[in-house]
Amino acid sequence: FVIGGNSQGQCGFGGVTDKVKSFQHLPLPDATGAIVKVVCGMDHSLLLSCDGKVFSCGWGADGQTGLGFFDDAVKVSQLEGELSGVKIKDISSAVDCCLAVSVIAATYIAVARDNYSETFKKIIV
């Protein structure tokens, strides 16, 4: 369920409104396992499923959603690219930066503003 500011689609329920004033059910992609962690940046959100998949939505102007484009993502979408087939065990986000740590201890990062990354990139093996 989601509630709060949604001017860039960071609540992920499929539309953009200034605020979601009451709890709304968050529709997730069909193949999503149970969500075990949610983290938020300035105006974007990341979700981690029990099976190690990462999903995001919200403001993507600086690439911080990791979805491969710079538009806002108003629906929750699974991250692909470098994360395709990688089981993630933890995620973190602050302002315009996101981190994902895989079960094999590789770290992936989506950094905005500095290098305008569109997708997560592997930085440590």
Give per-residue pLDDT as tens, 35-58. Answer: 999 999 999 999 999 999 999 999
Residue 98: pLDDT band with limits 50, 70, 90: confident
Mean pLDDT over each residue of the chain, to the nearest integer = 83
Residues in CB range of 114: below 8 A, 6 or more apart = none
Cα end-to-end span (Å), the chain: 35
Confidence at residue 17, expressed as pLDDT on a 0 to 100 scale: 80
Residue 97: pLDDT band with limits 50, 70, 90: confident
Residue 88: pLDDT band with limits 50, 70, 90: very high
Query: The pTM is what?
Result: 0.82
Contact 52, 40 (CB under 8 A): no
The three-point CA angle 41-39-37 to 5° equals: 170
Domain boundaries, the chain: 2-124
